[in-house]
Structures are given as structure tokens and as C-alpha cells.
Structure 1
Amino acid sequence: MPHPYVLLSAAVSLDGHLDDTGPERLRLSGPEDFERVDEVRASVDAILVGAGTVRADNPRLLVNSPARRAARVAAGRPEFPLKVVVSGSGDLDPGAAIWHTGGEKVVYTTDDGAKRLHGAASRTPGTPGGPVAADVVPLGDTLDWGLLLTHLHDARGVRRLMVEGGGLVHTQLIQQGLADELQLALTPLLVGEPDAPRLFGPGGYQRGRLRLVETRAVGDTVLARYEPTAPGTGPTAVPADRHWMRVACELAALCPPSRTAFSVGAVVVAADGTEIARGHSREGDDPVVHAEEAALAKTDPADPRLATATVYSSLEPCARRASRPAPCARLILDAGVRRVVTAWREPDTFVQDADGSGLLAAAGTDVVVLPEYEDRAKAPNRHLLPDG
């Protein structure tokens, strides 16, 4: 199911804390980083926080720069991003600043939380649990992050979501493999209090190193941007799958052009996010080599990582071919790989009724399709397509 691009944003002390234990909010960022955050806010469709952040920080979640707000309006977007609050209990103060400043608001909650919010119209204004000036969307007995993100994408048109906290929200999104990017502002402070809130709590995390995308100084703060690289498991896509599909599409663009074969890129990635091998069509001196074939040829058949690896291919692996005895789907199965992510089903341009995905699935392989990358996969092949 389609989700927005999920960007986690946080400022932390050198010892990993979001705040101290005092009654007042510890301001970790300086003016330069506040300006950077304002720029990021202006670029997104929605900003999300948990109920704990609303209670502790009373945020407004505004774009402060008039110039940035004007640029949003000129581009046909709302002046402010949509404000999203997540609360399982529905225990929210209707007097909080977030409800009374610019922009549309929505609360995602449980069925019980929605009853609490909808049934509190007679309460004294300012009483926690009273009505809030926001749309209320119940998600069932529990908060389901996948359902929440799908609703934001489909019902609210959110394509880029900024998550500003708190620690529990960040932890859950990372643990469930739903974060596309982490923007971490490391500030030159030490909190030194073991009970102070941290960015990420304990629990099971996807194993695998994050990919460092950028580092730069922002005043006395260091901004570090990371992307996840560990593939998903099973038939469900995770943000790292989208990262590797972008790589596969970039490889497809490197293929020597041909009138008789598609341009395809492929990457073999271990379960921990380590790249094992990559390849593209007509790589090197072989005019008929396919992308998956080229990548798998660079792997060690005895590599134990292949059994839990994922093959990313910009085009569905072929099920039949004339140029080699074994099609790419068979090569993947013979290598022991049981998860394949692709962007585009093979058209009938060269082979009628191609069904590499069916061959793979019949052998127990999980096949994931990312249709949002179909246009990128088609780009180097436009001259081969009827509408090209």
C-alpha cells in the first residue's frame, strides 16, 4: 500500500537525549538549526507529532518564514502543512496551541480514543480529553502505523511527511521499518541524566547500518542525514526497498542503448543492508547479458547471505529468453534468493505472456512490485514502447 515519504527529524544532545528532566523544555537547537527546520517544514505536506509532544512542548508546528509561506501558496499548496497528532487514548487538551494556529489538523486515534474525543463536547473547555478543533480518524482497537500512513497518502494527499516526535513515535516508526530518512541535529550539550528522554527507546530494531547521506555544520550543530538500507522480509515493501530500487533504476540508465533488448539495472542486497553485487544489461563486453545475470555472476554461489538476500531489478526478471539457456528468474532461484523487488512488469515487446514473477512466486519467492518507480524504470526504454 502506498505511504508518504517519512522523514524523522530530531535534535539530540551528545549523549543521545531529547530533553532533560527539568520542568522547562531544554532548547537543544540554536537559531541556525531552527531556521533549517523551518525550511524543511515548508517543503513537506504534513508534520506529525505524538500526544506526548503536544503535552510536553505545546508546539504550534508552523512555517515561520513569511517568504516560505508565500512560496507555498504561489505553488498552489496550503500556507501551512497539515498538522497530524497521534493519540491512542484521545487524552488531548483542546486548549493546546496546535489547535488554534494556522493550518488544517487531524488526529489519528483508536476507536476508544475517538469516542472519548467525540463524546466530550459538554466538558469544560481546556479540560484534557475534551473536543479538539481537528478531524478525528479512528484506526481500530490499536494504532496501526501502516494504516495511518496509507490514510494520509490516499485520503489527505500527503506525499512527504515530517515527524517531529516524540521518542516513542520515532522508535515505533524505526522499529517497524517505516522511516525513509532520519535527520539528526547533534548539539554540543551533555544532559547526563539517565532518566531523561532519549530519541530511541529499547526494543527490536531492523539489523543493518544506516546509509549516511549528508553531514554539515549548522551553526554549532552538526546535521547528519541517514537512510535505511536493510531490505524488508516477505511481500511487504519497506523504505530501504525504495532506496535500492532507485539504485537499480540508476543502473538501468547506464545500459548501452539497444533496439532489441531492454535496459535494466539490478542489485543483490544482503539482509543487513550490505550490497553484495550489482549489474546492468549489456554490461562489459557481453552484448546479451541481462542485469540480474550480470549481478549474480559477481556473487560467490557459496555465500550464505544469498538465502536471505533480496534481488532488486528495475524490470521483472525474465521467464524465457533466446540468448541464454536459463532465464533470470531461474538464475535467481538457483542462487537461493527468495525475495525479489521490481518496478515494472515485463511487456510483450520481445516475449509474449512473460511472467517471471509467476515463476518466482510458484517456487516460494516473495515478489514485491513498487509501481511508483515504473516511470523511472521505463525511462531508458521509451524508444521500445508503443507510446515512446
Structure 2
Amino acid sequence: MTSRPYVVLSAAMSVDGHLDDAGDRRLMLSNAEDFDRVDEVRAGADAILVGASTLRRDNPRLLVNSEQRRTARVARGLPAHPLKVTVTASGRIDPDLRFWRHGDRKLVLTVDGSLAEVRRKLDGLAEVVSVGPEFDWGRALDELGRRRVERLLVEGGGTVHTQLMEQDLADELHLVVAPLLVGQAGAPKFLGPAHYPGGPTARMRLVETRAIGDVVLLHYAPKQRQRAGGPDRDLDLHWMRRAIELAAKCPPSEGAYSVGAVIVGSDGTELSHGYSREADPHVHAEESALAKLPPGDPRLRTATIYTSLEPCSQRRSRPHPCARLILAAGLPRVVTAWREPSLFVDDCVGVEQLRAAGVTVVELPELAEEAESVNAHLFGTG
């Protein structure tokens, strides 16, 4: 079973909504400090995607520029640079662009009619795969999921952003607004006309605003549009579904639950994630997610951990159950979907232990069935 990547859209635009001007040379909308922020986001991605028109227009390399960040990726067992991906239906690909000459692996997603031509042009430079007779973003994301891409950073252009927003496939939007006015006909825009989910009155959740020199970062959660239940509840439901998706990645076991966990910072960004048996046959989801962060990470003091199953209060395979690990890390808030049944232990009291220690615990019973369904094989229903 594979799951689609978590999709982050990243763009910088002028105040009047343009990604560039109409000239031949690229307009620098951002500043050095923000370019470094983007480099950090790239370093945290498994793949970076741009449309073929952006390749032709900007001729980017799409690399992690910081040597320190590249070294950190390699230390985690990753390539120095994320997988580079471009998409094209027309097959208009230039093999002389810098995109193909720098970095590690490259992948082109195209359509049946252009497959042979693109493979001929890029022989030895990239892998080329078709996603059907017409370009299908669902199949494209499934293809990336099969390649173990968990976090996908999309850097343009406007057509790609528009299609992903229209199809409600973007999980995060990082939008930088520069104090410039382009005002030129024909200049590329961040988004074009489309039938966006919920229509013009559906308000996306604003997660963060940050001034970075003379530009402003706006961080939105596009799937969390205002509706019944309130935006805070929507945010919890969103991250819990992310945890349940991670639970589906667990190697199957007849003697343990499949659980996913996500740690989210106070600014709404994902700090870490994990799932059961991710690193070894005995590791728990919460334990795996916590182990990926430095001990004493100050962000944990204001973060939330989302776990698809109640944190364990006792275990045989490790000296410390997950409820105790959460308390030791100083996490103030826990969100869970499903109370642990009396299958492997008689009485799990993880929720009670956390609440007794002053941790805020939120339960989402409306997602309990989804969390349980990942473990259907344990109950004879899978």
C-alpha cells in the first residue's frame, strides 16, 4: 500500500499577483534571507517539482544550496539533493537545460502520446514515465508515492499551481508577497481562472504570517477551508488524517498495531512524523517521530503530537511507553483518534496519564473508524 505525498506549494509573487515580468530575464521577487528559507524547505523535501514551462523560462538547477543541509541529508541516509521532477503533456523538453546537468535523480511525468519523444530527448538524463492518455495529477502523485516521496515541494509555475489548487491536492501553500508591481500584460500570474473548491467565499486557514526583510510570507492550509465545526477542529482533522495515512505505511504485523504520528509546531508546520515499525520491528509511531528531532528541541514545548492510536501506557519491547516519552519531551498537547482496545494489554491508560500530568488531550471519535480500519486484519475483518 502506498500513500500520496504531502504537497507543499511554494511561490513568490508581486503585490499584483505576478510570478515574473514579461521580459527575457527573470525578475527577482524575493531576497537573500527568503531564498535561504526556501533552501531549508527544499532540504526537508523528498522531491521538488516544477512544470516544463518553468524550466524553459527560468532554466533553474533546483538544488539544495547549503553544504550543511546537504551533509545533514546524507547523514540521514538521503541523497544530497531531493528527486527533481518535471511534468509535461506537450513533450516540449530541452535536454540542454541546467535542470538535467546538476543534482541527483530526475523524473519526467508525461502522457502516452509524448512518452517516446521525451524518452528519446532525455536518454541517459532522466527517467520518463507516462501517467495516462491525458495528464492526471492523481496518477502523478500516486507514482511519486510509489517512489517513497512523502513530502513534495512544488515550485511552479502558475499552471501547475492552479491545477493542484483547483483539484484540492495542495496541503500547504507558502506564498511570499514582494513589494513590487509588475503591471504588464502577458506576465505570468501565480493562479489563473479555475473552479476552486468551495467557490469564492471559502476562506482558507491562515497558519502563519512572517516578515522576511521586505517580503511577507503567508502560510495557508488550502484544504482547511472554513466550514461547520470551526477552523481549529478542521486543523486537527487534517493532521489526524495525515497520521492515519502514515499508519497505512506500517509493515504489517499480527502482534502490533499500525499507528501513525505527526508532530506539528505552534506555527502550523510539520516538525516530524513517524509510524510503527518504521526503523525497527519494535519502534512505535510516537517514538519514531520524537527520535527524528534533537533532544530538548524547544519547539516541542509548544507543539502538538497527532497519533492515530492512544499513546501506550505500558509495553514490553522498550523501557518507556509512549505516554512517558511524550511527557519527557514536554509536549503540551496530544490529539488522538482511537482508544487502544484490550487486545494486547488489558487496560491502556495513556490518555488518563497524560491528562493527569497536565497535557491537553483532544480525541477525534469521528476518525476512530478510519484509524481502526488500518488495523482491520487484527480483528478478523481485513
Which bin holds the TM-score, normalised by the shorter protein?
Answer: 0.5 to 0.7
Letter in 1 for 2:221: E
Q: Is the Cα contact below 8 Å between 2:205 and 2:225 reproduced in 1? A: no
- Counterpart Cα distance in 2 of 1:54 and 1:29: 19
Q: Which residue of 2 aligns with 1:149?
A: 141
Q: Give yes or no for the alignment of 1:191 onto 2:182.
A: yes
Higher alpha-carbon Rg? 1
Q: Distance in 1 between matches of 2:207 and 2:58?
A: 29
How far apart are the structure 2 equivalents of 1:368 and 1:19? 46
Q: Which amino acid aligns with 2:115?
A: A
Q: Is residue 186–residue 223 contact of structure 1 (8 Å, CA) maintained in 2?
A: yes
Q: Is the 8 A contact 2:4 2:142 kept in 1?
A: yes
Q: Distance in 2 between matches of 1:109 and 1:71?
A: 32
1:165 and 2:156 aligned: yes
Compute the TM-score of the two structures, normalised by the length of structure 1: 0.59
TM-superposed CA distance for 1:3, in Å, is: 1.1
Which segments of 5 or more consecutive residues in structure 1 lack a partner in the other structure? 121-128, 233-239, 251-313, 316-341, 350-366, 376-384
Cα distance in 2, alignment partners of residues 369 and 85 from structure 1: 37
Post-superposition CA distance 1:215-249 (Å, at most 9, x none): 111111111100021499xxxxxxx9785243699
Q: 1:178 aligns with which of 156, 169, 172?
A: 169
Matched, 1:25 2:16: no
Q: Secondary structure at the match of 1:213?
A: strand
Distance of aligned partners of 1:111 and 1:247 in 2 relative to their CA distance in 1, 3 Å threshold: closer
Partner residue, 1:294: none
Q: CA 1:249–1:41 in 2, change beyond 3 Å: closer, same or farther?
A: closer
Query: Which among 205, 211, 217 is matched to residue 211 of structure 1?
Result: 205
In 1, Cα distance between the equivalents of 2:40 and 2:130?
Answer: 31
Question: What secondary structure is seen at the aligned counterpart in 2 of 1:10?
Answer: strand
What amino acid sits opposite 2:59 in the alignment? N
* Distance in 2 separating the partners of 1:369 and 1:174: 28
- Amino acid of the structure 1 residue aligned with 2:237: W
Q: Is the 8 A contact 1:15 1:190 kept in 2?
A: yes
Kept in 1, the 8 Å contact 2:87–2:108? The answer is yes
TM-superposed CA distance for 1:91, in Å, is 1.5
Q: Distance in 1 between matches of 2:41 and 2:79?
A: 15
Correspondence for 1:36: 37
Counterpart Cα distance in 2 of 1:134 and 1:4: 21
Shift of the alpha carbon at 1:10? 0.2
Q: Does 1:224 align with 2:218?
A: yes
| Equivalent residue, structure 1, for 2:54 | 53
Q: Which residue of 2 aligns with 1:104?
A: 105
- Shift in Å at residue 195 of structure 1? 2.5
Counting aligned pairs with the same residue, the percent is 53
* Runs of 5+ consecutive residues of structure 2 not aligned to the other structure: 228-232, 244-307, 310-335, 344-366
Matches within 5 A, 1:294-333: none
Counterpart residue number, 1:272: none
Whether the 8 Å CA contact 1:38–1:64 is kept in 2: the answer is yes
Structure-1 residue corresponding to 2:96: 95
Please name the residue that 1:14 is paired with: 15
State the aligned residue count: 255
Cα deviations by residue, 1:57-83 (Å, 9 ceiling, x for unpaired)? 011000011111011111111100000
The structural deviation recorded for 1:346 is: 9.1
State the partner residue of 2:80.
79
Task: Return the offset for 1:196.
Answer: 1.5
Q: Aligned partner of 2:17: which letter?
A: G
Do the aligned residues in 1 keep the contact of 2:49 with 2:156 (CA within 8 Å)? yes
Alignment partner of 1:146: what SS? helix
Conserved? CA contact 2:208–2:220, under 8 Å: yes
Q: State the alpha-carbon separation in 1 of the partners of residues 124 and 162 from structure 2.
A: 26
> Does the C-alpha gap of structure 1 residues 66 and 45 become closer, same or farther in structure 2, counting only changes over 3 Å?
same
Query: Partner of 2:239 in structure 1?
Result: 246
Alignment of 1:350-361 (within 5 A): none
Q: TM-score, normalised by structure 2?
A: 0.60
Letter of the 1:164 counterpart: E
Separation (CA, whole Å) in 1 of partners of 2:156 and 2:239 = 28
Q: Counterpart in 1 of 2:257?
A: none
TM-superposed deviation, 1:347: 5.6
User: Secondary structure of 1:216's partner?
Assistant: strand
| Alignment deviations for residues 137-164 of structure 1 (CA, whole Å, 9 cap, x no partner) | 111101111111111112x111000000
Q: Which amino acid aligns with 2:203?
A: R
1:23–1:248 CA distance, 2 compared to 1 (3 A): closer
SS in 1 for 2:109: strand
Aligned amino acid, residue 142 of structure 2 = T
Q: Deviations over 1:324-344 (max 9, x none)?
A: xxxxxxxxxxxxxxxxxx966
Instruction: For 1:2, give the aligned amino acid.
Output: S
Query: Residue 2 of structure 1 contacts residue 150 of structure 1 at CA under 8 Å; is this kept in 2?
Result: yes
- Displacement of 1:111 after TM fit? 0.8
- Give runs of aligned pairs for residues 224-303 of structure 1, distance below 5 A: 224-228=218-222, 229-230=224-225, 244-246=237-239
Call closer, same or farther: CA 1:216–1:99 in 2, change over 3 Å: same
Query: Does structure 2 conserve the Cα–Cα contact (< 8 Å) formed by 1:245 and 1:343?
Result: no
Check conservation: 1:245, 1:373, Cα contact below 8 A. Answer: no
Give the whole-Å Cα distance in 1 for the aligned partners of 2:29 and 2:193. 23
User: 1:17: Cα distance to partner?
Assistant: 0.6
User: What secondary structure does 1:11 align onto?
Assistant: strand
Residues 249 and 202 (structure 1), Cα distance of their counterparts in 2 relative to 1, 3 Å cut: closer
Deviation, 1:205, is: 0.3
| Alignment RMSD (CA, Å) | 3.4
